[in-house]
Amino acid sequence: MGQIHELNNVLADQIAAGEVIERPASIVKELVENSLDADSKRVDIIVENAGLDSIRVIDDGIGIAADDVPLAFRRHATSKISSRKDLFRVQTMGFRGEALPSIASVADVELTTAQEEKAAGTMIHLRGGETLANKPAPARRGTDVRVTDLFYNTPARLKYLKSPHTELARITDIINRLALANPSVAFSFTHNGKEIFRSAGNGNLQQVVAAIYGIQAGRKMLPISGEDDDFKVTGYVSLPELTRASRQYITITINHRYIRNFELTKAIIQGYESKLMVGRYPIAVVNIDLDPVLVDVNVHPAKREVRLSKEPQLTKLISQTIRNRIATENLIPDVDAQA
Ligand code: ADP
Ligand code: MG
């Protein structure tokens, strides 16, 4: 008798969850990215006890049709890509169809959603991958997802979490990055009933920088802009006098997706040449617009790392753009010195 058998869906989802849903911050990231993919203009994030008690994300996006609601929780079910061709030119944050089933396999999830033109919405309730309810709900354009009892059925995961303080810092960090990557979306973040962060959603990136790093820092940011045949680089970088002791304050986004990339970070720092003190790093938000064929986002399940074509050309453009901006800045007399 053979020994090989297929795993049941819930078990398979829990295994996938191990890669995508490491901690409360991963849930926040996946839910907010779904809201962004749904063309939301407003995303409210409400968290209790660093996500260990509850994580709720409410958006005003396109919602999900009633028939599609159960499908959204099926593994590899997505509305975002359909062919191999699409995979090589992904325009959305999601495409793997893994987040919702993964989350639902390790927590309690209630999702309420409605599409604008429809009379009624839908509410679905899942726990440990099992659907407990699926029924009509009052209409309100958008989607509201609440996750509670995270990792209740995977004790090892629960144990592996750090202190609420650390988990909250990670949630705050990812929300900051998503807000910096999407200045046209109004974000709010409330923790234990207290508002931690809010952005206006008016497209003004400098305002978002000021909301996160402080008004003083916001004033010392220089807009940058540069382009070549393949890439367009925009954003804000701090004056060389405004620095921090870690690279944490550098945010890089590719087509509005927050990513981490050592070479691009290095290129930003190199743009300052010798103007930074040893061990000091700028505050920067650098967005790179490119044709999606030039980037492979299907490298890492959480999509933090991407593979870039023409990376050396891009690093050169980034350094060059920042170097030029800082050089011109030095030509403009100091406002305070004039007074
Ligand atoms: P993916 O984002 O990779 O497609 P998910 O599991 O995150 O996979 O979501 C599955 C599907 O559920 C999405 O493709 C989308 O159609 C739908 N969906 C999830 N969240 C939202 C939301 N906030 N608004 C509208 N649709 C959503
Ligand atoms: Mg998704």
pLDDT band at 330 (very low <50, low <70, confident <90, very high): low
Fold of 9-198: Heat Shock Protein 90 (3.30.565)
Span 78-104, pLDDT tens digits: 988 888 888 888 888 888 889 999 999
Site to substitute for ligand 1 among 27, 78, 112, most atoms within 8 A of C-beta: 78
Domain residue ranges of the chain, discontinuous segments joined by +: 9-198, 214-332
Range 50-67 average pLDDT: 96
Range 165-192 average pLDDT: 98
Expressed in angstroms and rounded, the spacing between residue 109 Cα and the centre of ligand 1 is 14
Ramachandran region, residue 207 (left: φ > 0; alpha: ψ -120 to 50; beta: rest) = alpha
Q: CA dihedral defined by 293, 298, 300, 305, rounded to 10 degrees?
A: 10
200-219 burial code (b ≥16 CB/10 A, e <16): ebeeebbbbbbbbbeeebbe
Spatial CA neighbour of 173 closest among 252, 235, 253, 249: 249
The pLDDT of residue 234: 98
> What's the complex ipTM?
0.99
Expressed in angstroms and rounded, the spacing between residue 328 Cα and the centre of ligand 2 is 42
Pocket of ligand 1, beta carbon within 6 A: 30, 34-35, 38, 59, 61-64, 72, 78-80, 94-100, 143
- Could you tell me the CA-to-CA distances from 4 to 7, 103, 208 in Å, in that order? 9, 27, 53
In the predicted structure, residue 238 carries a pLDDT above the cut 90: yes
Q: Which atom of ligand 1 is nearest to the CA of 92?
A: 2
Range 143-162 average pLDDT: 94
**CATH annotation of 214-332:** 3.30.230.10
Burial of 32 (0-12, 13-18, 19+ CB in 10 A): buried
Span 287-323, pLDDT tens digits: 999 999 999 887 877 778 889 999 999 999 999 999 9
